[in-house]
Amino acid sequence: MEVAYIKTPLGIAKIEGDSDGLATVTVLDDTEELTTVIPEILEDVVYQLQEYFEGKRETFDLVLNPSGTAFQKTVWDALLQIPYGKTCAYLELAKLLGDPKAIRAVAAANAKNPLWIIVPCHRVIGSDGSLTGYAGGLHRKKWLLEHESPAKQQSLF
């Protein structure tokens, strides 16, 4: 498994993957030494993440290989269907998966998403529109949703 640490506007991202695909992308609160030479197998991931943060990329084209249960993978696949700049409530996601009673299981699977930003768990919000639960911290979730918002705040000056 190859590993790279890159700087993002939200902290240091740890990226892990191999020839089978991208396994994890996590954001760290502590400081890690940045990777000076990105492993070849991770170069495209780093490039696409940089484009995302520069506002030049809305979707990712990567081979994904996260570890998880069959149910978690089903939830993560559903997250990939939430378009850039849009949000979905946990209840909507549970209904989309065929069982509105599974809302807590869906939320738990969402929280275990190992592919930060790539699988957009940050686009899932509370039914009342609130920013609920985000493993990377609500300040990051808010930043990501504002970054993806089609209506950017304009400066008056």
Contacts of 154 (CB under 8 A, 6+ apart): none
Q: Which of 6, 88, 121, 125 is catalytic?
A: 121
Q: What six digits make up the tokens of 7?
A: 């700087």
Alpha helices in the chain (DSSP H): 43-53, 70-79, 90-96, 103-111, 138-148
> Is 121 part of the annotated catalytic residue set?
yes
**DSSP classification of residue 55:** T
Rg over alpha carbons for the chain, rounded to the nearest Å, is 16
- Residues with catalytic roles: 121
